[in-house]
């Protein structure tokens, strides 16, 4: 994966496969601390302690369609390449939390990529899941909460082109307003 947004897509897809009905995506870009912080939390079924220990092993997967699981190992490697790290917590009752930290200015840090497209894809494919996306950039903040959008839409369904177009434009405008390059 060449962009961090694709890692986010992969992890959130794991969350939805684990039955998550609410997913939080937090991104912090802090130039002063030279930090890019990505956190994904969900309320899915979580991982057992044994699975959690093996989750960053590229030759381990819980999926039955292939014998390798590269998503989390590749994200861990991407973070470590910049002097950062990947940490995970999981509990069957509280879901899973994945945190990736990167040195923001590191030459080997992957670009964040197209977050708007990633979120629109996630929302379109998971209309029964609530997504709360918060992006902070040097002290300024943008938040997208699909619960608020769904409430305002009334009888309209989230997969409607109009709703997805609104979400894309809102994210793009919000990120521009806080001054991020994403």
Domains, the chain, ranges and CATH?
Answer: 4-177 (3.30.565.10)
Q: Evaluate whether 164 touches 123 at the Cβ level (below 8 Å).
A: yes
List the one residue out of 23, 28, 21 whose CA is nearest residue 4.
28
Query: What's the rounded Cα separation, in Å, for the pair 3 and 113?
Result: 5
Q: Evaluate whether 72 touches 98 at the Cβ level (below 8 Å).
A: yes
DSSP conformational letter for 107: T
> What SS3 state is found at 47?
coil
pLDDT (tens digit, 0 to 9) for every residue of the chain, 182 residues total?
A: 789 999 999 999 989 999 999 999 999 999 999 999 999 999 999 887 777 777 766 665 655 444 334 678 899 999 999 999 999 999 877 899 999 999 999 999 999 999 999 999 999 999 899 999 999 999 999 999 999 988 877 655 655 788 889 899 999 999 999 999 65
Query: What's the rounded Cα separation, in Å, for the pair 125 and 21?
Result: 13
List residues bridging with 91 in a β-sheet.
95
Q: Tell me the whole-structure pTM to 2 decimals.
A: 0.89
- Tokens representing residue 89 in the block: 């917590």
């Amino acid at each position: 994966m060449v962009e961090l947004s694709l890692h986010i897509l992969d992890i959130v897809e794991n969350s939805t496969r684990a039955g998550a009905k609410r997913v939080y995506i937090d991104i912090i870009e802090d130039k002063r601390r030279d930090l890019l912080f990505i956190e994904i939390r969900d309320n899915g079924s979580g991982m057992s302690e044994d699975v959690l220990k093996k989750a960053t092993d590229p030759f381990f997967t819980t999926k039955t369609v292939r014998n390798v699981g590269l998503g989390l190992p590749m994200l861990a490697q991407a973070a470590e390449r910049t002097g950062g790290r990947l940490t995970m917590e999981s509990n069957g009752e509280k879901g899973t939390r994945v945190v990736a930290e990167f040195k923001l200015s590191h030459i080997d840090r992957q670009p964040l990529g197209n977050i708007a497209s990633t979120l629109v894809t996630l929302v379109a494919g998971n209309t029964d899941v609530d997504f709360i996306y918060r992006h902070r950039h040097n002290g300024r903040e943008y938040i997208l909460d699909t619960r608020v959008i769904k409430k305002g839409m009334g009888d309209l369904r989230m997969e409607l082109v109009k709703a997805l177009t609104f979400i894309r434009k809102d994210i793009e405008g919000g990120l521009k307003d806080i001054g991020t390059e994403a």
